[in-house]
Amino acid sequence: KYLFPALGMIPIDRAGGSKSEGALLAAEAVLQRGELFGIYPEGTRSRDGMLYKGHTGAARLALKVGCPIFPVGIIGTRDIQPPDTFMPKFGRECTIKVGRPIDVSRYMDRKDDHMVLREITDELMYEIRELTGQEYRNTYATKKAESIPSETALVESSK
């Protein structure tokens, strides 16, 4: 509650909508100052190692500020701190890969169009998948989605 903000991190209410608006405004201020801001588009860490559908916050920020999005893939964090563990396992390593920037300038005239936000976000998630090699599930990360066996989740997400 206090540690992350003290380190310069912006807490966000993952319920989305108006509940996350304050965090997105704070993130916008960071970008307006020309600083970097990282956001996890899935809204939570993956409990099963799959890559889930991204939320549109990163696309919304990029269009509002007029900055590119740099996809980042992080591999190996589950080995360092598996879900539901309190302490990380020291001596483990992770790999961080940065992809090509996504230029959103071609969408500036349609920045309030939800389909544009979805298209940018889907491109971002595709790039992250390419960086990490993760299997993608076209559903938002939730406890329910992560408890469905992989084959079932893939079939259900295509309906």
What are the tens digits of pLDDT across the range 50-72? 999 999 999 999 999 999 999 99
The pLDDT value given to residue 74? 95
Nearest to 36 by CA among 15, 61, 57: 61
Q: For residue 157, is pLDDT > 50?
A: no
Categorize the per-residue pLDDT at 16 as very low, low, confident or very high, splitting at 50, 70 and 90.
Answer: low
Total domain count, the chain: 1
Domain that holds residue 150: 3-157
Q: Are 103 and 48 in contact (CB under 8 A)?
A: no
* Sign (positive or negative) of CA dihedral 26, 28, 33, 37: positive
Per-residue pLDDT tens digits for 129-153:
999 999 999 999 875 544 444 444 4
The pLDDT value given to residue 124? 98
